[in-house]
Amino acid sequence: MRAEPDDASEQVTQALAGESLTVEGRRDGWALIRTAYDYPGWIREDALASGTGSEIGASPSDGDPVAEARGYLGAPYEWGGLTERGIDCSGLVHMAYRRLGRLVPRDADQQEAAATQIDEADARPGDLVCFGEPGRAHHIAFWLGHRSILHATDREGVNAVVEEPLANVDARPIRFVRLTIT
């Protein structure tokens, strides 16, 4: 999905096969769409299929989002990516929950807004660490405990989904939050 109806425009996220999309407008062979998680963007009309449904939310599972996120370990970092071929930090959180049939927002700041802030001392594995100013998180990671995180990073020399010490990430301030998804 692109920010504008142009192949050269920034990729803002990816629409996956079988995902429910709402077409809100059309222009010059492009469709302005909105995802089930309320994310807008442009996609070529010929990439749309009619009558596709979505597996999202069909049968939510009590599985572990961290275990799902670990399925992406080693995947390359890609801004706006949602697959093993390339994924970004908020896409990792989004897809970990999505694989469990649970829908969470797409971007780090939206994920922070959907969560409840907690003290670091109360953080459990699977909670999230938000980086950047409050309400404007620009990076997000799964908390693993023992001062370690799981995240997708484009930091020089890494550029992948990794587990690493929290101290390796320079971005501050940080906050701990808990998503409560029903």
Note the pLDDT tens digit of each residue in 133-171. 999 999 999 999 999 999 999 999 999 999 999 999 988
pLDDT cut 90: percent of the chain above it: 74
Count other Cβ atoms within 10 Å, centred on residue 48: 14
151 is catalytic: yes
- pTM of the predicted structure, to 2 decimals: 0.79
- Given 130, 138, 139, 146, the catalytic residue: 139
pLDDT cut 70: percent of the chain above it: 92
Which ranges of the chain does DSSP label H, i.e. alpha helix?
A: 65-70, 89-98, 108-113
Predicted confidence at residue 51, as pLDDT, reads: 45
Residues constituting the chain? 182
**Rounded to whole angstroms, how far apart are CA atoms 143 and 153?**
14
Predicted confidence at residue 50, as pLDDT, reads: 58
- Given 89, 94, 130, 146, the catalytic residue: 89
Give me the residues of the chain with pLDDT under 50, please. Answer: 51-58
Instruction: Tell me how far the alpha carbon of residue 90 is from its chain's centroid.
Output: 3
- State whether residue 113 is helix, strand or coil: helix
Predicted confidence at residue 182, as pLDDT, reads: 62
89 is catalytic: yes
Count other Cβ atoms within 10 Å, centred on residue 107: 22
How many angstroms separate the Cα of 136 from the Cα of each of 31, 57, 75, 89?
29, 27, 26, 14
